Structure 1
Amino acid sequence: MQRLLITRRLPDRVLDAARARFDVTLRDRTAVLAPEELRAALRDYDAVLPTLGDRFQAAVFADVPQPRAKLLANFGVGYNHIDAEAAKAAGIAVTNTPGAVTDATADIALGLILMTARRLGEGERLLRAGKWEGWGPVQMLGTHVTGKRLGVIGMGRIGKAIAKRCHYGFDMEVVFYNRSPVADPGLPARQVGMEEAMAADFVVIAVPGGKATHHLIDAAALGMMRPQGIFVNISRGDVVDEAALVEALQKGRIAGAGLDVYEFEPKVPAALTGMENVTLLPHLGTACLEVREAMGMMAVANLIAWAEGKALPNHVNP
């Protein structure tokens, strides 16, 4: 029976499925794998089920020239913490869990739009602090969402799901930027240049993480936004130059931001936590039991296919 390392606790249903087929070692800690743990994982196990933050980078593979591990079955659609090219060169396949995360992540994007535009987090903090003095006609006036323009950066599965919710649910006009042409966005939407998409009333980042999108949203991109624009990121933290975002918010160049991911998770700059016009969530994009179970079962299916010598259902091609 092949030895499998699972780097973080997963739902019981997933663990039971994995244990039925593999000799499982569960690392029951929240912290990401430390440098030596990364190298030991490649040396001591036939396969690894890692997740966000477990940084299997080129230096790790270089330190283990003949790894025992032959598969990294990532728990999550994003795999920018894994150098897939270096893994391939080391003879290790990489899989992910696409599809299972789409709707849950899109829902969080809508939540961030509404929370930031309508000042919902700020309002709840006011009430819980006992500072609410009663209803008033000009109390906590926010930004109307219905009928506004949405700019989506990255029109993949998640980007399309966000656009669908905004257009059909809130009658929003949708424009989007995508590196390659999108023949069918699945709803009335226009593919435009980066500058026009960033100039929408609400801008949502939905690109995959990785080298190609690192700091895609930098000071120049944020400078394309309107002063009344609201910025939302549900992709990966390092897609955004966090320092540039903080500066844009501090100087009033944009109206607000809703964030579920951060460049140096779990660290969040004090400058962000101190702003009332910023909604901050602790990476809750896929935090539903049904979704996490589906992700885990997809990862286990990839592992079983590998163990049986079959084609990997969700093979990542670097």
Structure 2
Amino acid sequence: MNIYIDENIPYAKEFFADLGTLHFFAGRTVTADQLEDADILLVRSITQVNEQLLSLNNSLKFVGTATIGTDHIDQNYLKNRGIAFSSAPGCNKISVAEYILSSLLVLAEKQQFELTDKSVAIVGAGNTGSAVFDRLNALGVNCLLYDPPLQLAGDKRNFCSFKDVLAADIISLHVPKTVQGKFATVHLFDESVLRQLHSRQILLNASRGEVIDNQALLKLAQQGMMPTLVLDVWENEPSINKDLLPFVDIATPHIAGYSLDGKVRGTEMLYHGVSRLLMLTATHRLQEFVPLPAVNSVSISQRLDQALLKSLVHLIFDVRRDDALFRQLIDQPDGFDTMRKTYQERRELSTLTVHSSVKQNLLLASLGFSTCALNDTKENDEI
């Protein structure tokens, strides 16, 4: 089997070496010529898999994307050719949710507010939006869900209106890129919608850049009419409109889902998909390959408030690091992709075991931390 793999899919060699001959390629620049003899193709979101890319290939049996999103895959074309397809739904939902949590804790400190005093509208209630909801809801934040397709499909959760979304203190976007149809998401936040927001709100986008009309966003930002902005995704990546950067409080290059754990989880899911295709037993697990983090255990001896939570979260992931690196690298040639390709290792909160009282451990676990009860009963009672 000739297995062609995006060079930025982590631990692909370890997972797939037993299954065939591995060929690694640059996802942004891969060509039809390179993939002519591919039996299996594994990509990330930057590779458009369509008839043009596969025009010279007659042997392809399987395409997999190590991502939640699938808008870069022409699934109808694959189906017509009888090529099996698999994605990695939910693989990086934890990573994105922790990106949102880290960002909000930074802004809460900067603007001096308590998250529990704010309302948060989560636009898109799939895997990622639900993960965001679960964490903020555990903290006691008033969370609203907006997802008309899920609501019409019979999802029994409580959903809000789009008017409610625009009235929320914080709006977090977690929708797929959908170009057509009643619930298209491209430019869901166009100029008319953006004009209804105000400077006391916070708008976060960690879904797809096209969900917000970036040109309209810049126009209104230059007029001082924008909320606080957190943008991980941008229109026209990697050739983004850099004029937006001065107006964005937290800016990163599409790395919200880039935790090592999330990326390897995506690789593992593709490995299981390929194993099923080949009717082989999957023998590898991500735990074989992922190392222990540098900091993996801590004890807390006081009540968990927002300031202490920020300290714990930022022991693992402080989004300000990525914001600073992005602003430093973006003016370099291929700066957007350079940072993605050379992204510094980032772990998930589950890799940190927090020793605390049994009562507080319930909250910590719901936020994603691993937990362990303190041995001192008296200390537990006092927390």
- What TM-score comes out, normalization by structure 2 length? 0.66
- Alpha-carbon distance, 1:3 to partner: 0.8
1:300 lines up with 2:271 in the alignment:
yes
Partner residue, 2:223: 251
Write out per-residue CA displacement over residues 167-194 of structure 1, whole angstroms, 9 at most, x where no aligned residue: 222x321222112316344xxxx41221
Partner residue, 2:48: 55
Q: Distance in 2 between matches of 1:91 and 1:26?
A: 24
Cα 1:86–1:240 change in 2 (3 A) is: farther
Asked if structure 2 preserves the Cα contact closer than 8 Å seen for 1:195 and 1:221, the reply is: no
Q: Distance in 1 between matches of 2:226 and 2:129?
A: 22
Report matched runs for 1:56-205 at 5 Å: 56-61=49-54, 63-64=55-56, 67-119=58-110, 141-169=111-139, 171-180=140-149, 181=151, 183-185=155-157, 190-205=158-173
Partner residue, 1:278: 249
Cα 1:222–1:105 change in 2 (3 A) is: same
Q: Distance in 2 between matches of 1:284 and 1:202?
A: 21
Q: Distance in 1 between matches of 2:33 and 2:187?
A: 31
Write out per-residue CA displacement over residues 162-219 of structure 1, whole angstroms, 9 at most, x where no aligned residue: 11222222x321222112316344xxxx412212212211000011224342222222
Q: Distance in 2 between matches of 1:184 and 1:301?
A: 31
- Greater relative contact order, per chain length (Cα 8 Å cut-off, separation 6+): 1
1:266 lines up with 2:238 in the alignment:
yes
Cα 1:41–1:82 change in 2 (3 A) is: farther
Gap regions ≥5 residues in structure 2: 282-383
Asked if structure 2 preserves the Cα contact closer than 8 Å seen for 1:206 and 1:235, the reply is: yes
- Alpha-carbon distance, 1:50 to partner: 0.8
Asked if structure 2 preserves the Cα contact closer than 8 Å seen for 1:67 and 1:90, the reply is: no
Partner residue, 1:129: none
Q: Distance in 1 between matches of 2:267 and 2:166?
A: 35
Q: Distance in 2 between matches of 1:91 and 1:224?
A: 47
User: 1:4 is aligned with what amino acid?
Assistant: I
SS, match of residue 274 in structure 1: helix
- Alpha-carbon distance, 1:151 to partner: 0.7
- Alpha-carbon distance, 1:89 to partner: 2.2
- Alpha-carbon distance, 1:144 to partner: 4.5
Asked if structure 1 preserves the Cα contact closer than 8 Å seen for 2:197 and 2:227, the reply is: no
Number of residues of Structure 1 aligned to a counterpart in Structure 2: 274
Asked if structure 1 preserves the Cα contact closer than 8 Å seen for 2:166 and 2:196, the reply is: yes
- Alpha-carbon distance, 1:4 to partner: 0.6
Write out per-residue CA displacement over residues 236-287 of structure 1, whole angstroms, 9 at most, x where no aligned residue: 1222221122223222322211011112222332222223x52102222222
Q: 1:33 aligns with which of 29, 42, 46?
A: 29
Out of 283-292 and 48-57, give the one that drifted further.
Answer: 283-292
User: 2:274 is aligned with what amino acid?
Assistant: L
Cα 1:85–1:215 change in 2 (3 A) is: farther
Q: Distance in 1 between matches of 2:216 and 2:280?
A: 47
Asked if structure 2 preserves the Cα contact closer than 8 Å seen for 1:155 and 1:206, the reply is: yes
Partner residue, 2:361: none
Partner residue, 1:8: 7
Cα 1:309–1:297 change in 2 (3 A) is: closer
Partner residue, 2:18: 20
Q: Distance in 1 between matches of 2:109 and 2:240?
A: 23
Q: Distance in 2 between matches of 1:85 and 1:224?
A: 38
SS, match of residue 204 in structure 1: strand
- What TM-score comes out, normalization by structure 1 length? 0.78
User: 1:108 is aligned with what amino acid?
Assistant: Y
- Alpha-carbon distance, 1:41 to partner: 5.0
Write out per-residue CA displacement over residues 92-140 of structure 1, whole angstroms, 9 at most, x where no aligned residue: 2321111221111111112223334544xxxxxxxxxxxxxxxxxxxxx
Partner residue, 1:136: none
Cα 1:87–1:72 change in 2 (3 A) is: same
Q: Distance in 2 between matches of 1:148 and 1:100?
A: 29
Asked if structure 2 preserves the Cα contact closer than 8 Å seen for 1:206 and 1:234, the reply is: yes
Asked if structure 2 preserves the Cα contact closer than 8 Å seen for 1:147 and 1:172, the reply is: yes
Asked if structure 2 preserves the Cα contact closer than 8 Å seen for 1:152 and 1:203, the reply is: yes
Gap regions ≥5 residues in structure 1: 120-140, 311-318
Asked if structure 1 preserves the Cα contact closer than 8 Å seen for 2:9 and 2:44, the reply is: no
